[in-house]
Every structure is written in C-alpha cells, then in structure tokens.
Amino acid sequence: MNIYRRLEEISYDKRTVLTLGTFDGIHLGHRAIIDRLKKISEQNHLRDFVITMEPHPQVVLNRPDRGPIKLLTTIEERLILFESLGISNCFVLEFNKDIANMDGKEFVEKVMVNQIGVSKILMGYDHLFGKNRGGNEELLKNLGQIYNFEVERLDGFEKSGVIVSSTKIRKAINEKKLDEANDMLGHYYFVIGEVVHGVGRGRKIGYPTANIKIENEFKLIPPVGVYFVSSIINGNKVYGMANIGFRPTFHDDLGLVLEVYFFDLNQDLYGMRLQIEFIKYLREEKKFNNVDELLIAMKEDERICKKLISEMK
C-alpha cells in the first residue's frame, strides 16, 4: 500500500475513485465502503484512494460538548487494517486548525480535484467534512457537475438491526460487552504496543507476562479486568490471558498496566511490537489476600481460556 503524508507526494490521476473519513475502528460499515471502493476500482480500472486524518478531528477541535475522544484505532493500527483490506493508496491528511477552517468546497477543489484527481467519490451515510461540516452530499454533487466526477452515498451498515458506528463500539467496549463490539468491528478489538520490562513478579510465581506499553494517550483501553486474548508471534497464532489493571494484590503503584501471559510460549519477547487481540472479557480484577489465592484464580482463568480455545478449534 502506498502511504502519503504530504499532498505534494501524490501524482495526479483523474481516473481515481476515492473516499474520505476518519475510519476509526474500520468497522463493518467502513468495510462496506472499502469493499465498494475496490469493486468500482476493479470494474472501471480506476486508482483506489482513501483519505484519512491524523490526529482525529476531535483531538484538534477539542469541543467541550463532546469530551475527550478515545480512539478505536491509532493511525498505525488503521493503516495495518487498510492494507489488510487491499487498499492500494492512502493519504494521511494532517488535521490541523487550517484544515478545520477550510470549507468543504475549497477542500474538494484543492485536495481531490486539483491534486489527487477524481472521477468518483464514495461517502458514508453520515459523513460530513469541512468548516462547520458543510461538505455534504449536495455540495459534492454540485461540484461533481462542475468538475466532472460522480458521487455515490452508501447507506448505514446494519448488524442485528442496529446501524454500526464507532460511537456504539466504544460504548460496548466501555461496558465490557466485548462480543458485541467485536461483532460490529468484524475483527477482534486490538492494541499494538512494545513489550517492555516490568517488575518480574509474574515469572517468579510461574506466570511470566509480557508488559505492553500503551503508547498513544488517546487509545481506548478496555476496562480493568481479565481477558482472553491472542497474538501473532513469529508467524504463529498464540493465545493467552491478559490483565488490565493496577495489580492491587501487590501494591505496585505502577499505574494502569496491560500484561499478557501467553500459553505454551517460552520466548524472550522484550522489544517486540505485538498486536494483542481481545477475544473475550472474563472477569473483574480483584485484590486477593495473598499470592496463593491469586494463583488459584489465575489457574481457573487459564482453564476457561483453554476451554474456549478448544471450542474455537
């Protein structure tokens, strides 16, 4: 996948079909747009193009009525998903105050028409862009008549009678409804981070854990608790259990920690970047009276996880 971060890097090609959006989570609704984009590209021999934004507009605009945004996907995670879905070209637009103050007409003319080139634009059912969100379907169709491009608006994607959205997925994750969130995503919710050194206590009690560094302050971390997880390590699917929490049994005072114990894995993971997929929420984090009580609970967590693995296979 070609990734562009400056408009000047992109070669002009009128025969381009493109779509624009934050695409946070790249859920089933986003995938419907991407699938349609690829189909149009293949059938009409057009260059496919996705324009996404970094940072998320809400981070820059910081609207008091919205509260701080928590992202389903960092830009790194988003690009991995775009590439896995077969996107050929992606422009990561640096969203700043200048872009926020650019009206929809100017944005279309400067970015899409004059620099990238466009013969067709796909837009999601609820996507608006430009200053005061003036970039809508009507504006695009009017500009399409002037600059000779088509506009196609896609309806919202429904799952179990509910229109899928990033907002609903965030809500489901925060409410520990991981199955519901994963169903709307079309993939397991995941976090990418580097394995860093912890205090080493897990190894001493027979459960060596990989401590995952949370690098992006805006990344949505699932609620405190124990989870059934998986990762790809050296090309192999590896399952495990993760704890997100404050390790109250040990009074470590390390802040929020994401640590993963992988089953049947004896390997030094320090320095590796791992993608941790959250398959199922198991239980709340608890403060135990002693290490023996903690080990009993962890052995039960492991038993439940291995039962789930056998059911998946």
The whole-angstrom separation of Cα 3 and Cα 312 is: 36
DSSP state of 82: H
Give residue 200's pLDDT: 65
Give residue 141's pLDDT: 94
The whole-angstrom separation of Cα 246 and Cα 271 is: 22
Give residue 247's pLDDT: 67
3-class DSSP assignment, residue 83: helix
Tell me, rounded to whole angstroms, the distance of Cα 227 from its chain centroid.
18
Contact between residue 243 and residue 294 where contact means Cβ atoms under 8 Å apart: no
Instruction: Give the Cβ contact number of residue 40 at 10 Å.
Output: 17
Return the structure tokens found at 86: 């077969």
Contact between residue 90 and residue 81 where contact means Cβ atoms under 8 Å apart: no
The stretches of the chain forming alpha helices (DSSP H) are 28-44, 57-61, 75-84, 97-100, 104-107, 137-147, 166-174, 178-185, 201-204, 291-312
The whole-angstrom separation of Cα 245 and Cα 252 is: 11
Q: Which structural domains are found in the chain, ordered by start?
A: 2-162 (3.40.50.620), 189-312 (2.40.30.30)
Give residue 248's pLDDT: 57
Instruction: Give the Cβ contact number of residue 199 at 10 Å.
Output: 13
Contact between residue 108 and residue 143 where contact means Cβ atoms under 8 Å apart: yes
For the chain, 313 residues long, the average pLDDT of each consecutive 10-residue run is 96 97 95 97 98 90 76 96 97 92 92 97 86 82 96 93 94 97 97 86 76 92 97 95 78 77 91 97 89 90 96 84
Q: The whole model's pTM is what? A: 0.92
Kindly list the distances between the CA atom of residue 11 and the CA atoms of 4, 14, 93, 112, 144, in Å, as whole numbers in the listed order: 10, 10, 15, 12, 21
